[in-house]
Amino acid sequence: MTWLPRATDVFVIGGGPAGLAAAIAARRRGLDVTVADWSEIPINKACGEGIMPDGVAAAEALGIPLGHSGALAFSGIRFVSGGVSVEARFPSGAGLGLRRTTLHSLMAQRAAEAGGSMVWGARVSGIRPEGVVADGRLVRARWVVGADGGNSQVRRWARLEATAGHSRRFGFRRHYRLAPWSEFVEIHWGEACQLYITPVEASEICVVRISRDPHLRLDDALPQFPEVWRRLAGAGVTDAERGGVSSMCRLRRVYRGNVALVGDASGSVDAITGEGLCLLFQQAQALAAAFETGDLSRYQAAHRRVGRRPELMANLMLLLDRRTRLRRVTIRVLAASPRLFAQLLAFHVGAPQIVAT
């Protein structure tokens, strides 16, 4: 067991991917870092488990070797709706399908190797100007990072709750023992939900259902997608169904005093973009740079900048979720002009160049 220190440069509250990314980035700049979380590793989460190429690149920039993690590469995105489909490859690089537990274990190992103090099973009960109260005593810290998720307690303690917009959808995830039938991540659009299908291993896929209905489970939704239902009919289930919330939330501020928020604690984009991990990797880099200069206003500006494109794409895709007729027309238009879909995908992953088809 790693014990809590008396003092540290950076105290990270939350040991999920956001907190670990912040810890790795800060250690790379020579800061002492302590990460505390009440959970034990690996921490699981219901998510689509697909990492887009820009997310892979952002992880590599942090020294997180996702390409050597056993992840399964996928080459692009396919939309399917009402018997119509359109697909496009990424303009450069590949995305990776990776189990969330595998990702978390890899990041925890990398943070420890970088010299971070990892304290699992620690209970944080408050923050003070001089540090953090954990396991009943004060740990002095120059900087405090809230990386404790969308329902962040640190956000409330720091009085950073004001938002510029908020929406919620609900997802359920399950893994199936089935060889991927496509080299793409597939998004199947239904009347009241979407299915996200991501290859995560040579003989396993991840299936996620997301909708605005918190009671709609995967087994209830699958009959809306006959092609997928048929493929899954004889496949073995490798884990229990797990649920989670997909939020769209933008905070007016992501820091106050010496406290900064990162990952979903600092706001989020809907999972429909697949950009959540990329965002937290980029935020971690920006936060560590702000620590080095001693100016968290620089982090605020960088946080807004890296979030603009994913937020725009999330709003556009959620519009298709809400407007059935618009979605049908849009996907037919994209199917008739796959070059346009390729350009949109290139913009989505941060490479807005003309793409040949």
Separation of alpha carbons 160 and 303, rounded Å: 15
pLDDT tens profile 186-196: 999 998 899 99
What is the percent of the chain where pLDDT is above 90? 87
Q: Count CA atoms closer than 13 A to 10's CA, side-chain side.
A: 35
Task: Indicate if the pLDDT at residue 204 is higher than 80.
Answer: yes
Consecutive H or E run containing 101: helix 100-113
Beta-bridged to residue 356, according to DSSP, are none
Task: Indicate if the pLDDT at residue 335 is higher than 70.
Answer: yes
Longest CA–CA separation in the chain, Å:
63
What is the percent of the chain where pLDDT is above 70? 97
C-beta separation of 248 from 269 below 8 A:
yes
Task: Indicate if the pLDDT at residue 243 is higher than 80.
Answer: yes
Angle formed at CA 252 by CA 248 and CA 256, multiple of 5 degrees:
120
Task: Indicate if the pLDDT at residue 1 is higher than 80.
Answer: no
| Model pTM score | 0.93
Report CA 168 to chain centroid distance, whole Å: 15
Handedness of CA 335, 47, 322, 281 (dihedral sign): negative
Per-residue confidence (pLDDT) for residue 47, from 0 to 100: 87
Consecutive H or E run containing 59: helix 53-61
pLDDT tens profile 35-94: 999 998 888 888 889 999 999 999 999 999 888 778 999 999 999 998 999 999 999 999
Domains of the chain and any CATH numbers? 7-165+246-348 (3.50.50.60)
Separation of alpha carbons 128 and 149, rounded Å: 20
